[in-house]
């Protein structure tokens, strides 16, 4: 899988494009989606160069894997949508063409702040 360094999230990670940051640590960056689909629509991306979840699952280190999962939980808590700080949310990642992925850098969408509806249209 070839990672395209010119994708928009790579530019955000390099600081070339601004984002509305929610959280950052050694493993993840989280920011608000520019085109929110729900009251809360956050994105959580790993700092490493991974095209999608398959690429990440095959090639990321155990530390990066734990870091991403922990990052999602930290962001959900921070936004008060987690199962302990709020009423829950949906975490979703699109993979490839049929998955509807537009940006070729792995990202999890966190939807919440209201009921998020049917799982698949």
Applying CB under 6 A, what is the total number of residues that bind ligand AMP? 13
Distance of alpha carbon 83 from alpha carbon 116, whole angstroms: 14
109 annotated active-site: no
E-strand ranges in the chain read 21-24, 28-32, 40-46, 89-92, 108-112
Distance of alpha carbon 73 from alpha carbon 42, whole angstroms: 12
Report the candidate in 48, 89, 86 with the shortest Cα–Cα distance to residue 68. Answer: 48
Binding mask 72-101 for ligand AMP (x = CB under 6 A): ----------------------x-----xx
Single out the residue of 16, 97, 102, 121 in contact with ligand AMP (rule: CB under 6 A). Answer: 102
Exactly one of 32, 41, 105, 107 is catalytic; which is it? 107
Distance of alpha carbon 58 from alpha carbon 79, whole angstroms: 30
- State in angstroms the smallest separation of the CB of 26 from ligand AMP: 21
Q: Of 1 and 34, which CB lies nearer to ligand AMP in the complex structure?
A: 34
Residues in contact with ligand AMP by the rule CB under 6 A: 8, 17, 19, 31, 33-35, 43, 94, 100-103
List residues with catalytic annotation.
107
């Amino acid at each position: 899988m070839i990672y395209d360094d010119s994708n928009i999230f790579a530019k955000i990670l390099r600081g070339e494009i601004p984002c509305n940051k929610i959280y950052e640590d050694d493993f993840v960056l989280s920011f608000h989606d520019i085109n929110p689909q729900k009251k809360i629509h956050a994105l959580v991306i790993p700092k490493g160069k991974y095209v999608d979840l398959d690429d990440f699952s095959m090639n990321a280190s155990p530390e990066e894997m734990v870091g991403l999962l922990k990052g999602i939980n930290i962001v959900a808590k921070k936004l008060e949508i987690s199962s302990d700080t709020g009423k829950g949310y949906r975490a979703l990642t699109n993979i490839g063409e049929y998955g509807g992925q537009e940006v070729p850098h792995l990202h999890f969408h966190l939807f919440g702040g209201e009921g998020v509806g049917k799982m698949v249209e």
